[in-house]
């Protein structure tokens, strides 16, 4: 691993490029290094892919908050919450063993309570729902007794609710189910999903008219499905790209009418852009303001503020 | 300045006192999270929640990187990582920033989750909501999307197969975008050791991705 003329290793140049912190000279150096080093080239490419895939999404804040609450409840339920217990790693193996037993007792007790219906599964957060990774947590080697953390991670699994099982099985149901209503619902979901996938494929393939048709079909046939809601957003973006801002704005508006979807942020931005195209300055300003109010940490916040300022300047500008 | 967040629902023993203690206590660490970490170690539930919520987004990012954004275990692994962070906190000596410390825990927890998922057979719904959302918002060409997904999956597979030390360095570098110096600080390993581990891991990554003919072409195209 040779260092570049500037003293920064090529790997670090790649990292700094991902953070947007390279000078022009460093950019050239990175370019040369990428040409010369196929391993670096692959690593850089994958790093960029990762940056795209791990970007912050709407709804992350709620997800993190929920996980933090659930984690704290797990810690509290395990008996490790007090400062002394939290310092268990220093107290030696014997104490860790005691903690393990205590945590297991706690976990099995909680499981029994859930089976008996005394404690709702949601009390222990999603990890106890039986749908997630509830195996042992093995934190870093640093001062964490694997036994204690494993005991914490070994959350009891509650019995899978019948409705959830049906929902999960829905896409692969082939034989008639005795639960007729459930099966019908499953079939509709499956078809809505298939339509949505086909529409996306058509859009990506550049067949926009077919994509529009499929999205519209999906919305008409399964108006209350999750896919239909997302289809409104995709259709709106298609229409916006084709210059049909009126219909696009209508689709974004429909998307935003329901309960807050995880793409509400994107829908608001697209709606504001549609309104801008339509010259509806007031409505555009209100939409940007709503974006800032509902998603203050949005990546579009700067754009929103810029547009609000610009619109204000237009309003305040002296007439000709 | 970070503000303490009040935990929702049942909380751990609030023996450590309230937010008032922030002003009274001398931090043993430095950096913006130092006081929160100190109070968290003392068992202050408000500080603990504040810490988890503050470092949570970065941990979530790591977990998505290692497991995949639409992986069904993302949320549970985040929760597991937070529990592990809580347990590891008393041993944190400030060798790196609390954020880096938390991310390292998330990397290791996610790597373990991925390794477990390797031998656990489970049903995954055909259209997870996150996946649908990704489809709706992704504006890249189909070829780009497929290539990027394959590269990411190649990296993730490698992370679950490599020796732990190498896998960790690779994940910190490729997923989190840590420099060698940052990785060395986080893993408490000498710089040269980190360089060597990274170089070995990258070499294997290249072999892995080049064994996929389609990906080999895309890398060539971009060269």
As averages over each run of 10 residues, the pLDDT of chain B (223 residues) reads: 46 34 40 83 88 93 86 87 89 83 90 68 39 52 73 86 89 90 89 93 88 60 45
Nearest-neighbour CA in chain A from B135: distance (Å): 7
Please determine, for residue A246, whether its predicted confidence score (pLDDT) is greater than 70: yes
Q: What does the pLDDT read at residue B117?
A: 64
Chain center to CA of B33: 18
What integer is the mean pLDDT of A154-183? 32
Which of left, alpha, beta for A79 (phi over 0: left; psi -120 to 50: alpha)? left
How does pLDDT run across A60-82, given as a tens digit for each residue? 888 899 899 888 888 777 666 64
DSSP class of residue B127 equals: T
Nearest Cβ partner for B84 among A126, A133, A139: A139
A189, closest residue in chain B (CA to CA) = B127
A116 Cβ contact list (under 8 Å, min separation 6) = none
Please determine, for residue A40, whether its predicted confidence score (pLDDT) is greater than 70: yes
Chain center to CA of A199: 22
What integer is the mean pLDDT of A308-313? 87
* Partner B contacted by A160 (CB < 8 A): no
B189 Cβ contact list (under 8 Å, min separation 6) = B165, B183, B197
Nearest Cβ partner for B177 among A18, A127, A200: A18
A2, closest residue in chain B (CA to CA) = B195
State the best of B38, B60, B75, B130 to mutate against chain A, taking most chain A CBs within 10 Å.
B75
Q: What does the pLDDT read at residue A125?
A: 36
Q: What does the pLDDT read at residue A81?
A: 60
How does pLDDT run across A257-302, given as a tens digit for each residue? 876 666 788 889 889 989 998 999 999 999 999 988 888 776 677 8
Global pTM value: 0.49
Contact A86 B180 (CB under 8 A): no
Contact A140 B16 (CB under 8 A): no
**Which residues 97-156 of chain B have a CB within 8 Å of chain A?**
104-105, 108-109, 112-113, 116-117, 120, 123, 125-127, 129-130, 132-133, 135-137, 141-142, 145, 148, 151-152, 154-155
Q: What does the pLDDT read at residue A170?
A: 27
Contact A16 B116 (CB under 8 A): no
Please determine, for residue A316, whether its predicted confidence score (pLDDT) is greater than 60: yes
Indicate if the alpha-carbon torsion angle B59, B64, B66, B72 is positive or negative: positive
* Partner B contacted by A148 (CB < 8 A): yes
Instruction: Tell me the chain A residues in contact with residue B81 when contact means C-beta distances shorter than 8 Å.
Output: 137
Q: What does the pLDDT read at residue A118?
A: 35
For chain A, the first-to-last Cα distance in angstroms comes to: 64
Q: Structure tokens of B43?
A: 């068992």
Q: What does the pLDDT read at residue B196?
A: 94
Q: What does the pLDDT read at residue B219?
A: 52
A235, closest residue in chain B (CA to CA) = B136
What integer is the mean pLDDT of A167-187? 34
Instruction: Give CA–CA dist A73/A100, Å, rounded.
Output: 17
Q: What does the pLDDT read at residue B154?
A: 85
Q: What does the pLDDT read at residue B118?
A: 57
* Partner B contacted by A99 (CB < 8 A): no
Q: Which of A4-8, A314-318, B40-44 has the lowest mean pLDDT?
A: A4-8
How does pLDDT run across A94-151, given as a tens digit for each residue? 444 444 444 444 444 444 443 333 333 333 333 333 333 333 343 344 333 333 333 3
A60, closest residue in chain B (CA to CA) = B57
Confidence category of residue A186, pLDDT binned at 50, 70, 90 = very low
């Amino acid at each position: 691993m040779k260092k570049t003329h500037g003293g920064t290793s090529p790997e670090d140049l790649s990292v700094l490029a991902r953070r947007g912190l390279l000078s022009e000279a460093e950019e050239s150096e990175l370019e040369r290094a990428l040409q010369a080093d196929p391993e670096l080239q692959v690593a850089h490419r994958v790093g960029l892919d990762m940056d795209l895939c791990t970007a912050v999404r709407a709804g992350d804040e709620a997800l993190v908050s929920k996980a933090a609450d659930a984690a704290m409840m797990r810690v509290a339920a395990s008996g490790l919450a007090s400062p002394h217990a939290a310092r268990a790693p220093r107290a030696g193996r014997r104490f860790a063993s005691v903690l393990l037993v205590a945590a297991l007792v706690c976990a099995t007790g909680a499981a029994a309570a859930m089976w008996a219906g005394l404690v709702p599964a949601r009390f222990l957060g999603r990890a106890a729902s039986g749908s997630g990774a509830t195996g042992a947590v093995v934190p870093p080697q640093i001062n964490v007794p694997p036994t204690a953390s494993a005991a914490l991670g070994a959350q009891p699994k509650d019995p899978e609710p019948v409705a959830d099982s049906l929902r999960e099985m829905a896409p692969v149901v082939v034989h008639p189910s005795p639960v007729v209503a459930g099966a019908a619902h499953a079939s509709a979901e499956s078809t809505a999903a298939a339509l949505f996938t086909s529409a996306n494929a058509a859009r990506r393939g550049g067949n926009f008219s077919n994509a529009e048709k499929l999205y519209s079909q999906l919305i008409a046939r399964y108006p209350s499905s999750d896919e239909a809601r997302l289809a409104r957003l995709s259709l709106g973006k298609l229409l916006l790209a084709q210059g049909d801002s009126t219909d696009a704005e209508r689709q974004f508006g429909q998307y935003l009418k329901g309960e807050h979807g995880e793409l509400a942020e994107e829908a608001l931005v697209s709606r504001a852009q549609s309104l801008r195209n339509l010259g509806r300055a007031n409505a555009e300003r209100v939409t940007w303001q709503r974006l800032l109010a509902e998603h203050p940490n949005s990546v579009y916040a700067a754009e929103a503020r810029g547009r609000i300022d610009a619109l204000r300047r237009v309003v305040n500008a002296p007439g000709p | 300045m970070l503000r303490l967040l009040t935990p929702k629902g049942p909380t751990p023993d609030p023996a450590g006192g309230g937010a008032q203690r922030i002003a009274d206590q001398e931090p043993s660490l430095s950096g913006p999270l130092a006081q929160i970490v100190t109070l968290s170690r003392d068992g202050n539930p408000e500080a603990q929640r504040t810490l988890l919520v503050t470092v949570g987004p970065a941990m979530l990012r790591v977990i998505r990187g290692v497991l995949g954004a639409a992986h069904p275990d993302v949320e549970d692994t985040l929760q597991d990582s937070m529990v592990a962070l809580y347990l590891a906190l008393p041993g944190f000596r400030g060798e790196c920033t609390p954020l880096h410390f938390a991310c390292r825990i998330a990397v290791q927890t996610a790597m373990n989750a991925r390794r477990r998922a390797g031998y656990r057979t489970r049903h995954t719904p055909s259209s997870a909501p996150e996946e649908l959302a990704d489809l709706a918002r992704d504006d890249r060409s189909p070829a780009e999307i497929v290539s990027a997904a394959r590269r990411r999956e190649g990296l993730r597979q490698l992370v679950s197969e490599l020796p732990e030390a190498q896998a960790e360095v690779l994940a910190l570098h490729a997923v989190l975008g840590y420099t060698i110096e940052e990785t060395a600080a986080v893993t408490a390993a000498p710089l040269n050791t980190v360089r060597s581990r990274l170089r070995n891991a990258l070499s294997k990554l290249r072999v892995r991705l080049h064994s996929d003919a389609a990906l080999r072409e895309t890398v060539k195209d971009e060269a």
